[in-house]
């Protein structure tokens, strides 16, 4: 049995990562974590994506990271908008230990589903800013999964697979298109104004727009607003 456990956020990246795992022949169990994000439209998108991909073992688990504060994604502070570059700084949307919490919950699913592969959509666009998306981190987590589970204690090797790690957003979109992913079901926006509608202005929307443009593919996304005008210099 070639089973994998995949995080499915409802976003574009995790949909492509899960589609990659299915295409690679894994029997995929999916996990969507409601960590108190205010864009709950993501959760509905995750349900639609799982259904679209034909993943029948899809579980939801709630964990409320708001107890820890400190992030624009879960606190009532402004979402950063209109940033043109994702640089080396850790972004304001950083959620403390988010991937560690998500991968820990994914390890619980892997344990009960008999999966030894943990799949997530982390990529260079993320790990330029988020420490918990970098390759060394992902390798360290695989060790934790191996040493901390019944299956690992009995000899199973665990691996964390991040098939998008070295892809740009355009590369991810091209890969997803080749795998038949319906991007119209995915939700990237940090602050969607309505169900299924992207704001068009936040960092995530800017990245998404640019990704489709650079990939040379039609963008099926419904954006509430056009992109911001570049500042006149």
- Of the pair 144, 179, the CB lying nearest a second copy is at 144
- Asked whether the beta carbons of 18 and 53 are under 8 A apart, the reply is yes
* CA torsion, ordered 121, 204, 8, 110, to nearest 10 deg: 50
> Parallel, antiparallel, or unpaired: how do β-strands 27-34 and 3-7 relate?
parallel
Q: Is 141 in the site for a second copy (CB under 8 A)?
A: yes
In 3-state terms, what secondary structure has residue 117? strand
Those residues with Cβ within 8 angstroms of residue 71's Cβ, 6 or more apart along the chain or in another chain: 65, 92, 93, 94, 95, 96
The piece of 11-19, 99-107, 172-180, 209-217 that touches a second copy (CB under 8 A) is 99-107
Distances in Å between the alpha carbon of 143 and those of 96, 118, 154, 166?
21, 12, 14, 22
Q: Is 105 in the site for a second copy (CB under 8 A)?
A: yes
Shortest CB 125 distance to a second copy, Å = 17
Q: Is 150 in the site for a second copy (CB under 8 A)?
A: yes
- Asked whether the beta carbons of 209 and 227 are under 8 A apart, the reply is yes
Q: Is 148 in the site for a second copy (CB under 8 A)?
A: yes
Between residue 2 and residue 61, which ones bind a second copy under the rule CB under 8 A?
59-61
- Asked whether the beta carbons of 223 and 199 are under 8 A apart, the reply is yes
Shortest CB 164 distance to a second copy, Å = 18
In 3-state terms, what secondary structure has residue 54? coil
Q: Is 64 in the site for a second copy (CB under 8 A)?
A: yes
The piece of 48-56, 106-114, 186-194, 198-206 that touches a second copy (CB under 8 A) is 106-114
Q: Binder to a second copy among 46, 50, 109, 199 (CB under 8 A)?
A: 109
- Asked whether the beta carbons of 63 and 35 are under 8 A apart, the reply is yes
Count the residues of the shown chain that bind a second copy, applying the rule CB under 8 A: 45
Between residue 156 and residue 215, which ones bind a second copy under the rule CB under 8 A?
none
For a second copy, the binding residues (CB under 8 A) are 59-65, 67-70, 90, 94-101, 103-105, 107-112, 131-132, 134, 136-137, 140-141, 143-145, 147-150, 152-153
């Amino acid at each position: 049995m070639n089973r994998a456990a995949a995080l499915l956020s409802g976003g574009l990246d995790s949909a492509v990562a899960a589609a990659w795992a299915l295409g690679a022949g894994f029997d995929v169990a999916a996990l969507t974590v409601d960590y108190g994000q205010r864009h709950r439209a993501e959760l509905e998108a995750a349900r639609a994506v799982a259904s679209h991909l034909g993943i029948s073992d899809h579980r939801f688990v709630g964990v409320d990271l708001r107890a820890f504060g400190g992030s624009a994604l879960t606190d009532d502070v402004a979402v950063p908008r209109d940033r043109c570059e994702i640089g080396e700084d850790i972004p304001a949307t950083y959620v403390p230990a988010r991937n560690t919490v998500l991968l820990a919950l994914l390890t619980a699913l892997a344990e009960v589903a008999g999966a030894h592969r943990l799949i997530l959509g982390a990529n260079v666009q993320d790990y330029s800013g988020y420490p918990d998306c970098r390759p060394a981190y992902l390798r360290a987590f695989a060790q934790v999964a191996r040493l901390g589970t019944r299956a690992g204690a009995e000899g199973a090797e665990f691996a964390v697979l991040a098939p998008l790690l070295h892809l740009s957003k355009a590369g991810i979109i091209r890969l997803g298109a080749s795998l038949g992913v319906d991007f119209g079901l995915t939700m990237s926006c940090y602050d969607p104004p309505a169900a299924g509608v992207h704001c068009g202005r936040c960092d995530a929307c800017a990245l998404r727009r640019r990704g489709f443009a650079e990939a040379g593919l039609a963008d099926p996304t419904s954006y509430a607003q056009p992109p911001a005008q570049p500042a006149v210099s």
